[in-house]
């Protein structure tokens, strides 16, 4: 495992979300960014096996549920190569999505989407407003090691401000976790 932090230069504040069209392992459908026109989108690069992601599964599912009625879509994307980590393949993703209640857990088989976003670690969240412009890139919460307990829930605070049309001053707060497993 290589421990990495989010890249502050991955995308500039206000940058447009790179488009994607990926397999949703939840139901076998194809999901594209354009499916969420007029909605804010939170894209979280994550995976099944990472000890930094697993403790955040519950919070990710809660964010998905709490913000769905507020025109915010939470999308998990795994870009890890299952050739390197078998637990991160589509069938295993479908199982985790079912256990956690995720509605969008997408498989980036080519890894082109992770590269387009500049994602480097899991988890690596990006939040886009209703025009799909970047307003936040950073951590889910301040539990920066697998056994830490969160006291600040950065992503929830950002999403609350976004739906309330309040300014998001701190637009980058690095996440940290396992490196994406590139082919």
The tens digit of pLDDT for each residue in 133-144 reads 999 999 999 999
The pTM for the full model equals 0.97
Class of domain 3-179: alpha beta
* Burial classification of residue 99, based on how many CB atoms lie within 10 Å of its CB (0-12 exposed, 13-18 middle, 19 or more buried): exposed
Residue 98 main-chain phi, psi, to 5 deg: -65, -45
Instruction: Give me the chain's average pLDDT, please.
Output: 97
pLDDT of 22 reads: 98
Which are the contacts of 24, defined by CB distance < 8 A and separation ≥ 6?
30, 31, 104, 105, 106
Left, alpha or beta for 68 (phi > 0: left; psi -120 to 50: alpha)? alpha
């Amino acid at each position: 495992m290589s421990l990495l932090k989010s890249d502050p230069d991955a995308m500039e504040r206000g940058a447009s979300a790179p488009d994607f069209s990926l397999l949703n392992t939840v139901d076998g459908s194809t999901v594209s960014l354009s499916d969420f026109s007029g909605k804010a989108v939170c894209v979280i690069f994550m995976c099944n096996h990472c000890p930094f992601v697993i403790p955040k599964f519950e919070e990710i599912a809660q964010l998905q549920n709490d913000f769905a009625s507020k025109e915010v879509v939470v999308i998990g994307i795994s870009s890890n190569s299952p050739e390197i980590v078998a637990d991160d393949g589509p069938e295993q993703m479908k199982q985790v999505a079912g256990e956690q209640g995720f509605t969008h857990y997408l498989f980036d088989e080519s890894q082109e989407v992770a590269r387009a976003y500049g994602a480097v670690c899991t988890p690596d969240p990006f939040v886009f407003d209703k025009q799909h412009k970047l307003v936040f890139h950073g951590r889910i919460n301040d539990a920066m090691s697998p056994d830490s307990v969160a006291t600040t829930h950065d992503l929830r605070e950002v999403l609350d401000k976004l739906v309330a049309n309040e300014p998001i001053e701190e637009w980058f707060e690095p996440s940290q976790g396992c490196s994406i497993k590139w082919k």
